[in-house]
Structures are given as C-alpha cells and as structure tokens.
Structure 1
C-alpha cells in the first residue's frame, strides 16, 4: 500500500511539474525582434495585458538590470499608463526618455507625438519637431510623416526641407494609404523648395 501511495504521489508531482513547464512555454519573455515588432504596431501594452500581467517582473528585470532599450521603453510605457503596475506617469516618462537616449526610434517618435499633441506633457511643437527629426533621419516612417506635417504647418526651418523630403521619398512604404499620404505631404513640401533641391533630394541615398 505504501508503495502504491508513493507511486501516486510521484505521478502527481510529475504532472504538476509538466503543467508548470507547459505554462512557462506559453508565457515567455519576448524576443527583441518580437517586442520591436509589437512596439512598431503599437501593440506592446495590449500584449502585456493579454499575457495576464504574468511577465511584469521579467520585463522590469530586462529594463532595469539588462537595460535593453526596447524593454526600457516598454517598462516606461507600462508605468506611464498603469498597465499591470501602479501608474506613475513621471517615472514612466523618465524611462521612455532613457530609451530615447539609448537610440530607440520608437521612443523618439513617441516623445515627439506626446509633445506634438500635449499627451502627459505640455504641447510643444518645437520640441516635438526635434524628436521627430532625429527619428525621421534614421528611417522611422511615422516620424518622417509627422516631421513633414509639422514643416508644412510652418514649424522648423527651410533648411530642414531637403533632408525631410529625401528620407521620406526614399523610404519603402508597403501600405497604399500611407504611401498616398506621404505623396501628398511631399507635394505640399515641394511647393516651398527650389526645383534643383527637389531633384537632389530625390536621388537614392547611396548616391
């Protein structure tokens, strides 16, 4: 009888271990590529909530100990909006700024968007332009669109036009609606540019 009980206990323990292992396999820390893709689609906070907030400690560790830029940004956004943690907008913005200083384009674009629209901070178009420009010149499509939008509204300097035109014109845009929007923005910007500057800006980046 004792042997049977021991066998049953061992089987029960093994089953629990397997169940825990299976659960761990389902909910894991995101890879850098996966997280960057989620951030680019603005789905990172939804994913954290969809995972039932089970990865909060792992995300915090990646952000604070390993200091991976995408995790620093994610942790900051979670704090800023109170996703799976107690909301602390000031601390959240601090970490989003840290990610931007580390060169994460999504963080630069988001800071530009926040200052452009007055989200969590006072509206400041000139500061927004600075963030958009930095991300735009490094290839961030949404930042390029927002950058030219502000230039077309009269912010910035005519000296900015050529670089802004060049990076958006030479970008690869798969979405037809976004491409049409970019076309209109470029056409409006070109009205304030000499023809020779437009031609120069339309040359491939590698020339």
Structure 2
C-alpha cells in the first residue's frame, strides 16, 4: 500500500524570524523619534511579555516608558491609561528625559491627566536641563506662554542656544524661539546666556 502523503508536493514553510529584544540604545532612539509603539506593532507584539518584565520586574526606565505607552494607548495590550501613566512616572522618577518631557506635555495639554501647568513646567524644565532638544523647545514655548518665571529665561536661552541642531526646520524653530525669548530679556542676560551656551 502506498502512503497518500508521499504523493503530495513538499510544503515550503517560511522560516520564523525571531525578534531580538531591543537594545537600550535603539529603544531610546525610537522613543526620541516617537517610533517605539510603531516598532512594537511592526514586530507583531512578540516581545510584549519581555517588555512587561523589564518594566515591572527589572524596572528599566526605557522599558517602563515603553510599557507605559503601550498600556496608555492600548498597543498590543488592553488599554489602561491609569497604569500607563504610573509606568511613565516610574521612568520619570528615575530621570528618563523622554518620560519627563512626555509627562510635562501631557500635564500642559491635559492629555490622559488633568491640566496642571505648574507640574508641566517643572517636568519640562527637568527634561530640558538633561539636554533633550524637544523639551528645550517646548520649555521655551511654555515660558513664552506665561508659565514659569522670567528668572528661568536665561537658563532656557542658554540650554537651547548651546544645542547642536542638524535639522533645518528645527534649527529655524529654535532660532525663532530664541529671538522671541531674547526680546523679553535684558541685553546683559542674553549676552551671559550666549557666552555660557
């Protein structure tokens, strides 16, 4: 008797691609570019349990940020904004600049949380002082909108003036913000900030 399966053509199976766990530097790069959630989706949510473990058990700030965003926006998991914001705070409490910036923006705009302008400005200032360009730009926007104090102008000017910005559009935005901020500052404060920046 002939085996019926022997007459079937061979089935070609595409090899499974194992998605390696994200390296710290690439994850931070994706976070700064706003691509971290897209990457998780692109990897078909294969690393969800690993991400959760690194956030919840190992308490790695970049993974706390990623897990918090996944929870907040329901990426590969059931949405849970409250838990998501808690994980963002855990990352911010460890000093992760993108977490400080994102929470500052959320409190400024009232996204997922109630507006709290004092908290927003404090968080954004901390992220800006760590050298995060996005936060430096947003902090000056906050100051120009009346948040913070005129005593902050010199520090904000110095931070952004000293930033290296390769993108033409961002460079132009920074120049415009610096010009607007300088118009509110005494000339000697602008000169000091430029010398320090």
User: Common fold, TM-score beyond 0.5?
Assistant: yes
Cα distance, 1:19 vs structure 2: 4.2
Q: 1:40 aligns with which of 20, 26, 32?
A: 32
Distance 2:64 2:87 in 1: 6
Q: Give, in whole Å, the separation in 1 of the partners of 2:143 and 2:55.
A: 34
The answer to whether 1:29 aligns with 2:16 is no
Equivalent of 1:121, from 113, 134, 138? 113
> What is the RMSD computed on CA atoms of the aligned residues?
1.6
Residue 204 of structure 1 deviates from its aligned partner by 3.9
Secondary structure of the residue aligned to 2:195 is: coil
Please list every run of 5 or more consecutive structure 2 residues that lacks an aligned counterpart in the other structure: 1-12
Moved over 6 A (4+): none
Which structure: greater helix fraction?
A: 1
Q: How many residues align?
A: 186
Partner of 1:59: 51
Question: Deviation per CA, 1:27-62, whole angstroms, max 9, x where unpaired?
Answer: 111000110010010000011011111110111111
Deviation for aligned residue 1:125: 2.1
TM-score by length of 1: 0.86
- Partner residue, 1:196: 188
Measured in 2, the distance between the counterparts of 1:71 and 1:89 equals 16
CA deviation after TM superposition for structure 1 residue 176, in Å: 0.7
Question: Partners in 1 of 2:157 and 2:196 — Cα distance?
Answer: 12
Gaps of 5+ in 1: 1-15
Q: In the alignment, which of 101, 108, 119 is matched to residue 109 of structure 1? A: 101
Query: How far, CA to CA, are the matches of 1:114 and 1:153 in structure 2?
Result: 16
For 2:144 and 2:78, the matched residues in 1 are separated by: 40
- Report deviation, 1:127: 1.6
1:156 — aligned with what? 148
TM-score, normalised by the number of residues in structure 2:
0.90
Q: Could you tell me which residue of structure 2 aligns to residue 5 of structure 1?
A: none
2:30 counterpart SS class: helix
Within the candidate set 44, 62, 73, 1:70 is matched to 62
Distance across 1 between alignment mates of 2:89 and 2:163: 26
Shift of 1:185: 0.6
Whether 1:91 and 2:80 are equivalent positions in the alignment is no
Secondary structure (helix, strand or coil) at the match of 1:189 reads helix
Residue 112 (structure 1) shift: 0.8
Q: CA deviation at 1:165?
A: 0.3
Task: Give secondary structure in 2 for the equivalent of 1:143.
Answer: helix
